[in-house]
Structure 1
């Protein structure tokens, strides 16, 4: 039966398609399938994975897909099993009209690696359409004296199917006057013609109605009918005749509307109204579009464009033209119109796949994107040239007929370009050429290929001493051209100084910000600078680092009081003395105050000032050197004793100072200087008579003291024997004075060093003095009072003996005066 025949035919076609596709695949990696139209939805066509030799297990990973403008609507591929399915109803007549071969082409694209396979599916026609006449009733006027054998052209039946399934034969209902014949034109089409077999008699029968049947060759056959209504008329026995049976003309698709591209003409041997020709377009289902796109002048036969032509929509038009004379006789002709392609479509670019971002260290040849380039024009108008407009580290490679790959050409550097706008320009070869551009943004993924960098190889910071612990001292920062974790920097420090101390006990650094903090207060006098190495390390994998050197200079502050070296502090505490001879001239150097300051710079720049001096003042002091000089000459009436306080201060802000008290004795020799330094507080202000009385009293006291000494010597005779063997004082008991000090103070004062042993009466009223011979090597930097300890003369004797002095009586007090640069103590 018909159903079985159809199924068998389908099986044979599918089997043939499999064999054909296998053969094509083995030869050219292209598949060809053949299926009938109107297959049910989700019907399996074939397993393209097996036909292409692909591993079914890898289909989902390789992302197999169908790429096509048209075929995606009708076919789908299962990524699990590789079967190709019918996605929607396929009507061959809708897709291909009456084209002999109806092919649907698409590409199967798989990735990893990228492959493109061309697949063609041929749609086989089935007899799913019956023949149909556009006009259900055909009116035909025939002269009554038309001779037998005359042919009358009837309208064709239309069948969208092709081949055996299209119209094969025509049949005419039984009648006495007419038979049916078929006329084959140059293009192979068949048209039914009505043939008059017997003469007509309008008076006997003015109309005839016949049934015209069109039958196709399908299985089962299908048919369609039309009513032919014949009207018998009088006298017009000559038909119009076209100059050409088929007109062929070419029209550019860019032709303006109302462009005349063809004029048809006919001849008619009749006269009068029977020779007046009227042109018209025969409207059928096949040329409905043509009748819409074109029109014909009914009188002149000029054919003009009625709409804008588009080669990419329709390439060919077919029109049937009718010429009818005034007597009702008609003639027909065909016009075949070919649309000439113009370069009116720019190329089209579509992106199938894109990989973004990519690491900056991607190897050359890494796939970036797969693009498809199409041009709807044909010939050279559809041939394209593609390029990347700018000089970038990428190249465009033709993969297949219309597929292009964008791959990397060189190693990239994200620090120079964080992203790229890849502009692709496609131009066709038409005249003039048309072009299309499209940009692809490609982001570059950072890798840790840049170490942190410091702006300087060595940094210098200045920090005042006595700073607060925990205060921020300096900020040092490095930069990293990378981003994200690769640019996250941590800081650390370690000392490069040669001193043996831990830098962490003095300094610390914030590992994130690079801010340097003090751990304790700095002391300029201990550490004048620190030299540390700062390491900046990023957080990439693997980590990168760099170093720089930071030198911290400690700035001095005025935190040290000037220290007076001369006169020595232990001497100045008890009061030091300087002797000034009466003969000293103005400007003579008397002594010099020497002081130092542990600070530096202005903080150690010392100045010397008198802050307490007797009036009138005979002395002046140099603010810079500390030298004390006479400001004028002296007279016998001048006060013999002066007491002054010297202030030594630095130049810091605020300044710090120290003081020393000096006493000056005005005398030509030491013997004259002693009376002036009695313990009477008002001796300087006493009148001359009082001074004379005091001298007399002192002489008497001295005399008594001498007698007492003699008595003590007699009483201690045995002890005196041991003392007789001691001899004079050793010159090696005391260290010599530094000659540098001697050289500075040998003008206007006593020659140095000198030691004096003075014997004074214990009674203050006595005024006799006994001076021993000066000992050149006896230091005079301390004053020893043998009686100050509160001991008796026995202890005194031992004390004097231990200091290298001779034993004296208990009524006398021995005094040892020692100085390294001058006579530093007054004798009472």
Structure 2
């Protein structure tokens, strides 16, 4: 019947309750043994378990006559006997998890008593588990705080889910929500551990994601399966990257059942490589430790000692699992876990005793495997099996025991390393063969002697030193520190500089190092503008025989200090005279008077320049831009005002303390606008825009120069002939000689020269002088144009090569000074007469000067954000140059 019931379990649901009750049980009886039945939990009242009468071979009608009855030792009757059929039925719904908790098997023991004559039959009913409980985590929300410095592979413990069911109905698998940073390691779960491990897969970055949300799902093996979830919140922090770690993950301790309260169970030791509060460890029970275990044991939070706190009873429980966690005291604490398995043993009155006969200590760390360290004997006052004693030492030690009757030798196993362990406290445990066995321990202290097998190790892989320039001689730069895990003379370290050169000079002429302390000093005073950085190699050598050494590179960076005052390039003044600037009396508010151009030999913020108006004869008339140095009017000039104004401008850098320079400027008010060089806002757009007066001036100059025509023609022919030697392309010019267009001149030039003339202007080659770049460095760039202020008639054109045309002999000058930072230099195009006739226009009046708007076009490039073309109107850089200037007659 039991076999048939088992074969038909797959279709039980569809057959209704009677068949379900039949399929939920099985029975059997071994010869001469008790009656055995099995029944699933949670069956209702009256469910069939088995036919006792049939299994005993008794007529069911005789059971009632003989007063058959069932008795239970537990006091609670879950089953009953139906005398009419001799059937064993369910009397009360059974919950296997209440009856047997987590035991893999659950039996109800009954006695069937039949009188006349009296017969007693043992009945064992196995309560089978069904999947009536879903996995459940101890907590629904786990909050983890993980340092962003945690390396991939770091593990974090998560308490596993609990399922009161057993077998396949218990927790079978775990699932973690998809995550780029974490994965779930189930090795511990598969080996029966109560803890899961969350493994970091990728480094965390708190700045990108400060909080990670994960969902952990536990699934049992029932049909259908049940599951439970827990939320895992991971907060990424910046600190404390090492959790406490126990010496072992599992501690096994045997404890007598009559141990009084206060008995030391085990002394736990968790180490944290962090320093300060991050390395201070506090011990406590793990959250998975049952409340009953907390009542029987206590954990010292500071020493890690686990002691007995209550009365132990071997008959009540033969072992206890204590989950202990070690928490550091960092700003974001980290936790380490271990399990202490306490085995309770019955009383025994004599323990084995270990006697140390001989000890070889210290042992050289290069001792060969098999070297005898200690000789021991063991005695036990008991007899028989209790007298037979075996010795053992903790695993993981480079030692092993060899036995010979009652004597034991402790020998080396593998290689010793004094730097990893300078001494060993070897706990030798003696255990007899009694039931239960008794044990005793003896600690043997073995010292390992040193040999020189480790080179010095620097505290830093690379040293970086920052020293302000102009340092005094002998100033301490840094202290190089190296350590040697060896001891005595093997760990004595001396420091020296390796031979090397810095800018062609020995490294020792720059720095020196003390051999005993590693202090590095400057031998000379450094200048940031001359030498900004260099490096030396330091060697650390121990005093062992033979000696070992290591090297490290030290980089010395010279830091700039504010040792250069700003240098004013324009305008300039002397102790006896001030710079002269002129503005028209009709100047409006915001009129650009001039621009202060200054540079600073320092770098960084020491080279940031600020401009201040220190003195002025009319405080309300002028203002200066703090960052650009532009001096502008704040209002319109009065008709009858002061003809001159005296200004004092100070240029101050941003160093600490700041340095400054000043310039005195005299601003003269000019009545006639015609004496002012045209404003840069007047642009040359095409030859058709030239004024009539300019054309008249050109004709006049050509007429006056007629006397020298033959001389000019001769020079022209010679120069045209020279230019014709370069090729035969492009432009036609004077004298029927082929001349090169600016594009060809550009190709023939050695310095990226580009000659550009206005459209419609034809110039003979011998009038062109092409010059290359200016002399300023790429750091400081200026762009200035010299025009009629030099006292001669000047035409300046800024355009590309266009249609051919003619122009009278004149002086055409365009000068550009630019930097070399990533672009070709601007070029000079100078068209000039070889001589001037006596009928040339007069020189300008003595009060003639450059216009303020033109001088303001010179731009300082000390601040990179100000570097660029001349300031001007919205027409762009190609439209901001003066067009025509002439002297007054």
Q: If the length of structure 1 is used for normalisation, what is the TM-score? A: 0.40
- Larger gyration radius, structure 1 or structure 2: 1
